[in-house]
DNA sequence: TGAATTCGGTACGCTGGCGTAACGATCGGT
DNA sequence: ACCGATCGTTACGCCAGCGTACCGAATTCA
């Protein structure tokens, strides 16, 4: 009855495994922890989101955010927009594609929860 | 009352965000989805775990597993061992360091759940 | 207006992961 | 003892991310 090896366990790790395995098996891009954290920060916390703000929130250097925005932007999961109030700032905005991606991810977690319950 | 922007929401995505942000802020290595899925598969499903088995389970090519084992092994999170019954096989085994890492990750998810509840 | 500050991005050299294709080692069957 | 199949790894050329340092644009304040 080792909880670390019990597939039917309610251990949160089992849920994470189920969800991640499903994500890998799907065609979803193989994002890093940092990239996923940025994406979720943009979509589940209220705007505005700036490069500096995200860097501070995650405790990483600015170029990390800049590069992640390049990649996530190329995937169409979010979008940059100049702040017209203060043109030094970049506002990170949501996209339809990003919302769809995270909606599917939410479903995937729900399915994992059902399977690992 | 947009659930996508409600920090106190019980949306599973908010929990994931909290957990991932905490992981990024900690000194934990920035693993990819694939790497984390492999690690969790080894630690939350019963052995034995082989390269081919993990590749099939995740629906990826063998070299993906081989390289991930290199990296995760270098981090001390798991270990390779030759199968003496059939020396073609490699058995992926757990390590103390890996168990500690996942235990901390579990705590981190629990803390995130408390914060995002 | 001129200097100092703030913001985001880029350059650099390096490391690590990718997919495909090939490889050596090991096993099973005849 | 051979031959074919299976296992995991490695080679290849390529692309993405790293941390540090620096850059230009925009803003603030004296």
Q: Note whether B102 and A12 are within 8 A (CB).
A: no
Q: Which nucleotide lies closest to B35 by the C1' atom and the CA atom?
A: C17
pLDDT of B92 higher than 90: yes
Mean pLDDT of B23-48: 97
Residues A38-83: tens digit of each pLDDT: 999 999 999 999 999 999 999 999 999 999 999 999 999 999 999 9
Instruction: Give the dihedral sign, CA A23/A29/A33/A37.
Output: negative
Q: Is the CB of A58 under 7 A from strand D?
A: no
pLDDT digit string (tens) for A23-33?
A: 999 989 999 99
The pLDDT of residue A49: 98
3-class secondary-structure state, position B99: helix
For chain A, domains (ranges, CATH) are 32-107 (1.10.10.10)
Using an 8 Å CB-CB cutoff, list chain B residues near A106: 11-13
Mutate to test the interface with B, among A3, A5, A7, A24 (most CBs of B within 10 A): A24
pLDDT of residue B13: 96
- CA-CA distance, A117 to A112, in Å (whole number)? 8
**Runs of H (alpha helix) within A1-117:** 12-25, 33-44, 51-58, 62-74, 96-116
- Which residues does chain A have within 8 Å of residue B57's beta carbon, measured at their own beta carbons? 21
Q: Is residue A112 helix, strand or coil?
A: helix
Residue B1 CA to residue B4 CA, distance in Å, equals 9
Q: Say if residue B8's pLDDT is above 80.
A: no
Residues A82-92: pLDDT tens digits?
A: 999 999 999 99
Chain B hits for A14, CB-CB cut-off 8 Å, are 44
């Amino acid at each position: 009855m080792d909880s670390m090896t019990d597939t039917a366990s309610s251990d949160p790790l089992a849920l994470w495994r189920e969800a991640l395995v499903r994500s890998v098996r799907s065609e979803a891009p193989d994002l890093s922890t940092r990239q996923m954290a940025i994406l979720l920060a943009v979509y589940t916390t209220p705007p505005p989101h700036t490069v500096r703000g995200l860097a501070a929130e995650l405790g990483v250097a600015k170029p990390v955010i800049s590069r992640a925005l390049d990649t996530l932007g190329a995937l169409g999961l979010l979008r940059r927009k100049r702040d017209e109030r203060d043109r030094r700032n970049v506002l990170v905005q949501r996209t339809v594609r990003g919302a769809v991606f995270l909606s599917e991810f939410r479903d995937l977690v729900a399915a994992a929860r059902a399977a690992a319950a």
